Amino acid sequence: MPIRTLLKMGDPRLLEVSRPVEPIDSLALAPLLNDMWDTMKAANGAGLAAPQIGVMRRVVIFGYQTNPRYPDAPPVPETVLINPLITPLSRIIEHDWEGCLSVPGMRGIVPRFDKIRYQGFDQYGEPIDREVSGFHARVVQHECDHLDGILYPLRIEDMRNFGYVDTLAEQGIIKLQPCDDES
Protein backbone atom coordinates (compact mmCIF):
# COMPACT_ATOMS: atom_id res chain seq x y z
CA MET A 1 0.00 0.00 0.00
CA PRO A 2 1.23 3.53 -0.63
CA ILE A 3 2.71 5.74 2.02
CA ARG A 4 0.58 8.88 2.04
CA THR A 5 1.82 12.44 2.30
CA LEU A 6 1.39 13.82 5.80
CA LEU A 7 -0.31 17.19 6.07
CA LYS A 8 1.70 19.71 8.07
CA MET A 9 0.63 22.43 10.48
CA GLY A 10 -0.51 25.37 8.38
CA ASP A 11 -2.69 23.23 6.12
CA PRO A 12 -6.25 24.40 6.89
CA ARG A 13 -7.62 20.86 6.59
CA LEU A 14 -5.90 20.00 9.89
CA LEU A 15 -8.18 22.52 11.63
CA GLU A 16 -11.43 21.00 10.32
CA VAL A 17 -13.80 18.80 12.31
CA SER A 18 -14.01 15.34 10.76
CA ARG A 19 -17.22 13.58 9.81
CA PRO A 20 -18.35 10.28 11.38
CA VAL A 21 -17.96 7.04 9.48
CA GLU A 22 -21.42 5.66 8.67
CA PRO A 23 -21.85 2.82 8.06
CA ILE A 24 -18.66 1.05 9.11
CA ASP A 25 -17.79 -1.00 6.04
CA SER A 26 -14.64 -3.03 6.57
CA LEU A 27 -14.10 -3.60 2.83
CA ALA A 28 -14.37 0.10 2.02
CA LEU A 29 -12.12 1.07 4.96
CA ALA A 30 -9.40 -1.51 4.28
CA PRO A 31 -7.37 0.54 1.74
CA LEU A 32 -7.45 3.64 3.96
CA LEU A 33 -6.43 1.68 7.05
CA ASN A 34 -3.61 -0.10 5.22
CA ASP A 35 -2.30 3.26 3.97
CA MET A 36 -2.56 4.73 7.45
CA TRP A 37 -0.61 1.86 9.05
CA ASP A 38 2.07 2.01 6.36
CA THR A 39 2.34 5.80 6.64
CA MET A 40 2.49 5.77 10.44
CA LYS A 41 5.13 3.03 10.56
CA ALA A 42 7.27 4.66 7.86
CA ALA A 43 7.32 7.86 9.95
CA ASN A 44 7.95 6.02 13.26
CA GLY A 45 4.68 7.35 14.62
CA ALA A 46 2.82 6.15 17.70
CA GLY A 47 -0.52 6.96 16.08
CA LEU A 48 -2.14 8.60 13.09
CA ALA A 49 -5.49 10.23 12.43
CA ALA A 50 -7.17 10.13 9.02
CA PRO A 51 -7.17 13.95 8.73
CA GLN A 52 -3.36 13.90 8.83
CA ILE A 53 -3.45 12.33 5.38
CA GLY A 54 -6.31 14.50 4.15
CA VAL A 55 -9.21 12.12 4.85
CA MET A 56 -11.74 14.02 6.95
CA ARG A 57 -13.30 11.04 8.70
CA ARG A 58 -13.34 10.09 12.39
CA VAL A 59 -10.74 7.33 12.16
CA VAL A 60 -7.55 6.97 14.17
CA ILE A 61 -4.98 4.24 14.50
CA PHE A 62 -2.34 3.82 17.17
CA GLY A 63 -0.10 1.25 18.77
CA TYR A 64 3.33 -0.36 18.70
CA GLN A 65 5.50 -2.82 20.61
CA THR A 66 8.47 -0.44 20.58
CA ASN A 67 8.81 3.01 19.09
CA PRO A 68 12.13 4.75 18.38
CA ARG A 69 10.57 8.19 18.93
CA TYR A 70 9.36 7.14 22.40
CA PRO A 71 11.88 4.50 23.54
CA ASP A 72 10.86 4.62 27.21
CA ALA A 73 7.13 4.32 26.53
CA PRO A 74 5.42 0.99 27.28
CA PRO A 75 3.80 -0.94 24.42
CA VAL A 76 0.36 0.17 23.27
CA PRO A 77 -1.88 -2.38 21.51
CA GLU A 78 -2.34 -1.77 17.80
CA THR A 79 -5.85 -0.38 17.50
CA VAL A 80 -8.20 0.97 14.86
CA LEU A 81 -10.66 3.33 16.52
CA ILE A 82 -13.62 4.65 14.53
CA ASN A 83 -16.04 7.34 15.73
CA PRO A 84 -14.32 7.58 19.12
CA LEU A 85 -15.71 8.96 22.34
CA ILE A 86 -13.33 9.86 25.18
CA THR A 87 -14.42 10.19 28.79
CA PRO A 88 -11.97 11.39 31.47
CA LEU A 89 -11.88 9.02 34.47
CA SER A 90 -9.86 11.27 36.73
CA ARG A 91 -9.32 14.97 37.33
CA ILE A 92 -5.58 14.35 37.36
CA ILE A 93 -3.85 16.15 34.50
CA GLU A 94 -0.34 15.13 33.50
CA HIS A 95 1.99 17.46 31.61
CA ASP A 96 4.46 15.77 29.28
CA TRP A 97 6.32 16.23 26.02
CA GLU A 98 4.52 15.45 22.77
CA GLY A 99 5.47 15.50 19.14
CA CYS A 100 3.37 15.09 16.03
CA LEU A 101 3.95 13.86 12.51
CA SER A 102 2.07 16.96 11.31
CA VAL A 103 4.32 19.27 13.34
CA PRO A 104 7.69 17.78 12.33
CA GLY A 105 10.83 18.48 14.28
CA MET A 106 9.08 20.09 17.25
CA ARG A 107 8.00 19.09 20.75
CA GLY A 108 5.94 20.71 23.47
CA ILE A 109 4.63 20.03 26.95
CA VAL A 110 0.91 19.28 26.72
CA PRO A 111 -1.60 18.70 29.53
CA ARG A 112 -3.68 15.53 29.19
CA PHE A 113 -5.99 13.54 31.42
CA ASP A 114 -4.04 10.72 33.07
CA LYS A 115 -6.91 8.21 32.94
CA ILE A 116 -9.57 7.94 30.25
CA ARG A 117 -12.17 5.61 28.86
CA TYR A 118 -12.34 5.41 25.11
CA GLN A 119 -15.16 3.90 23.15
CA GLY A 120 -15.81 3.46 19.47
CA PHE A 121 -15.64 0.74 16.88
CA ASP A 122 -12.95 -1.30 15.18
CA GLN A 123 -12.69 -1.75 11.41
CA TYR A 124 -15.29 -4.54 11.52
CA GLY A 125 -17.88 -2.48 13.37
CA GLU A 126 -17.22 -4.31 16.65
CA PRO A 127 -17.43 -2.10 19.75
CA ILE A 128 -14.29 -1.07 21.61
CA ASP A 129 -14.50 0.03 25.25
CA ARG A 130 -11.22 0.46 27.16
CA GLU A 131 -10.00 2.22 30.27
CA VAL A 132 -6.37 3.31 30.01
CA SER A 133 -3.84 5.57 31.67
CA GLY A 134 -0.41 7.08 31.17
CA PHE A 135 1.16 7.19 27.72
CA HIS A 136 -1.60 5.04 26.18
CA ALA A 137 -4.17 7.63 27.32
CA ARG A 138 -1.97 10.47 26.00
CA VAL A 139 -1.67 8.87 22.54
CA VAL A 140 -5.42 8.32 22.24
CA GLN A 141 -6.24 11.89 23.31
CA HIS A 142 -3.62 13.31 20.92
CA GLU A 143 -4.94 11.35 17.92
CA CYS A 144 -8.59 12.05 18.71
CA ASP A 145 -7.82 15.77 18.96
CA HIS A 146 -6.97 15.64 15.24
CA LEU A 147 -10.57 14.61 14.55
CA ASP A 148 -11.73 17.89 16.07
CA GLY A 149 -9.16 20.04 14.27
CA ILE A 150 -6.89 20.43 17.30
CA LEU A 151 -3.11 20.22 16.94
CA TYR A 152 -1.12 19.76 20.15
CA PRO A 153 0.47 23.27 20.04
CA LEU A 154 -3.04 24.65 20.60
CA ARG A 155 -3.09 22.88 23.99
CA ILE A 156 0.32 24.10 25.21
CA GLU A 157 -0.15 26.31 28.27
CA ASP A 158 3.34 27.82 28.38
CA MET A 159 5.02 28.48 25.03
CA ARG A 160 8.42 28.38 26.75
CA ASN A 161 7.81 24.61 26.71
CA PHE A 162 7.63 24.38 22.91
CA GLY A 163 10.47 24.23 20.48
CA TYR A 164 12.53 22.43 17.90
CA VAL A 165 13.71 18.98 18.94
CA ASP A 166 17.36 19.66 18.07
CA THR A 167 17.42 22.93 20.04
CA LEU A 168 15.67 21.38 23.05
CA ALA A 169 18.19 18.52 22.94
CA GLU A 170 21.16 20.92 22.72
CA GLN A 171 19.83 22.62 25.85
CA GLY A 172 19.53 19.24 27.61
CA ILE A 173 15.77 19.68 27.99
CA ILE A 174 14.87 16.53 26.06
CA LYS A 175 16.80 13.50 24.91
CA LEU A 176 17.28 13.43 21.14
CA GLN A 177 16.35 10.15 19.50
CA PRO A 178 17.95 9.17 16.17
CA CYS A 179 14.70 9.69 14.23
CA ASP A 180 13.53 12.86 16.01
CA ASP A 181 15.09 15.17 13.44
CA GLU A 182 12.62 13.81 10.90
CA SER A 183 9.58 13.57 13.20
Residues with a catalytic annotation lie at: 143
- Reference 8, options 56, 52, 71; nearest CA is 52
Residue 152: strand, helix, or coil: helix
Is the CB of residue 109 less than 8 Å from the CB of residue 95? Answer: yes
- Reference 176, options 107, 100, 75, 123; nearest CA is 107
- Measured between alpha carbons, how far is 110 from 104 in angstroms, rounded to an integer? 16
- Measured between alpha carbons, how far is 66 from 99 in angstroms, rounded to an integer? 16
